[in-house]
Amino acid sequence: MKVYISVDAEGISGIYNLWQVMPSGPEYGFARKMMANDVNAAVDGAFKAGATQVIVNDAHNNGNNMLIDMLDERVDLISGSIRPLGMAQGSDLRADAAFLVGYHARKGSKGVISHSYAYGSMVEMRLNGRLIYEHDLIGHAIGMFGTPIVMLTGDDATTAAARETIPGIYTVESKVCISDNAALCHHPKRVAAMISKTAEQALKNFKTDGIKPLHISGDVALDVRFSSATQATLALRAPNTSRLDENQVSFRGPDYETAFRAFLAGVSMAGGFRDDAALYQ
């Protein structure tokens, strides 16, 4: 059994502030350690359930956060910034099941370090008109290859949202949100124990539970509201795009893959202009 893990940083154990997950932040080393803590727990549970291979995609920022020598030696790690599928890179290897580890809430909602895919440019994402989180966006990308999302870890807001849109998904709460930069953090050792146990349960039960890959039939529109008109203009350089209003662009296709690939290209170009440049100093 092959298992795929996409790991972000904001929903990881012990993380409550943006600067912890930025390379220039004084606690970035701690964040890397905590990412390994949660991922290793998921890997442990996967192998206990009978996994024969676990592929981990370092999906935070430029994909250079996880140090492979801190990970379980049975892991295969995807690192680096030039990834055609972005946060879903490696899902094209067609695993039997997938975990989303360390995911977070959407921008504008209650959640620890809540944002929508890209700092400094994106205000909201909609999938065929429905307001979505990153776990929806990436879950559908993984679903393109027939793989179901069977477990997600993150704060209380994110886990609750995932249970609403991914029927049957197993979740582990790493913290309780107080605000965008404050949380009641559960101890990483307790979280790790729960992740391992839940990952094992999810893999043993997801087929009988009926957890299916996320899939949309027919035309797909991924609409993005950017924080500035300049970003929207830049995003229009991507294929299969149209402008909905001053700062909103629609990425469209006859299927999810076409729309998603247009989204990745457009959002990357829009990120050439950021209105919160202090984050990147």
Question: How many whole angstroms separate alpha carbon 104 and alpha carbon 124?
Answer: 14
Q: Which two tokens stand for residue 53?
A: 């291979």
What radius of gyration, in Å, describes the C-alpha atoms of the chain?
A: 18
Fold of 220-280: Gyrase A; domain 2 (3.30.1360)
Q: Identify the pLDDT of residue 281.
A: 44
First to last CA, the chain: 43
User: According to the model, what pLDDT value does residue 190 have?
Assistant: 98
Tell me if 252 sits within 8 A of 217, measured CB to CB: no
Please report, for the chain, the start and end positions of each structural domain, with discontinuous segments joined by +: 2-122+132-209, 220-280
Whether the Cβ atoms of residue 23 and residue 118 lie closer than 8 Å to each other? no
The predicted pLDDT at position 280 comes to 46
Q: What stretches of the chain show up as alpha helix (H) in DSSP? A: 28-48, 134-143, 156-165, 188-209, 229-235, 256-270
pLDDT of residue 279: 52
Each residue of 103-143: pLDDT tens digit? 999 999 999 999 999 988 899 999 999 999 999 999 999 99
pLDDT category at 38 given cuts 50, 70, 90 is very high
Domain covering 2-122+132-209 in this structure, CATH number? 3.40.50.10780
Neighbours of 42 (CB within 10 A): 29
Q: Across residues 78-105, what is the average pLDDT?
A: 97
Q: Is the pLDDT of residue 50 over 70?
A: yes
204 by DSSP, 3-state: which? helix
